[in-house]
Amino acid sequence: ATLATLDDQTLVAKWATDPVILAAGEATYVGTCNACHGADLSATMDVGGVKIPLPGLPLTDGQWKFGGKPMDIFKLVNDGSPPESDGHNGARMEAWGRKLGPQKVAEVTAYVISRLPEFKPGG
């Protein structure tokens, strides 16, 4: 029922400010998203001071290939890359909703948007 009422404003103002939701989203991010998007969301991994690119797109550059609103991000995580996408360096976003379910997808989306300045008030 909660997910049926999910929208951009609810994700930003409620989910992305709730410490319990953010902790759950961070745990999912660390276990599922780190490998492609990096711990700092930059899609790089620091190895001895050298930034090594990871397979995913950076989430910190303000560029959203398939829509930059919170529900666009939720949809991308849930459904994966759209069929018309060639992917990034051949890698396409998996449809994580099939494995995680919509609750965890919403939590991880809230965690990601909580870390980005464009979703903060005045951002």
Return the closest-CA partner of residue 112 out of 24, 52, 53: 24
Stated pTM of the model: 0.92
Helix residue ranges, H only, the chain: 8-13, 19-28, 34-37, 70-79, 97-100, 102-114
C-alpha span between 117 and 60 (Å, rounded): 9
Over residues 54-63, the mean pLDDT reads 92
**From residue 56, how far is each of 9, 34, 38, 59, 102 by CA, in Å?**
26, 9, 8, 9, 21
Interatomic CA distance for residues 109 and 112, integer angstroms: 5
Is residue 2's pLDDT more than 80? no
- The answer to whether the CB of 59 falls within 8 A of the CB of 38 is no
More confident residue, 122 or 103: 103
What is the rounded average pLDDT for all residues in the chain? 92
Per-residue pLDDT tens over the stretch 65-115: 899 999 999 999 999 999 888 877 778 899 999 999 999 999 999 999 999
The pLDDT of residue 53: 92
C-alpha–C-alpha distance, residues 108 and 103, integer Å: 9
Q: Which of the four pLDDT bands, split at 50, 70 and 90, describes residue 3?
A: confident
Residue 32 has pLDDT above 90, yes or no: yes
Give me the pLDDT at residue 16, please. Answer: 95
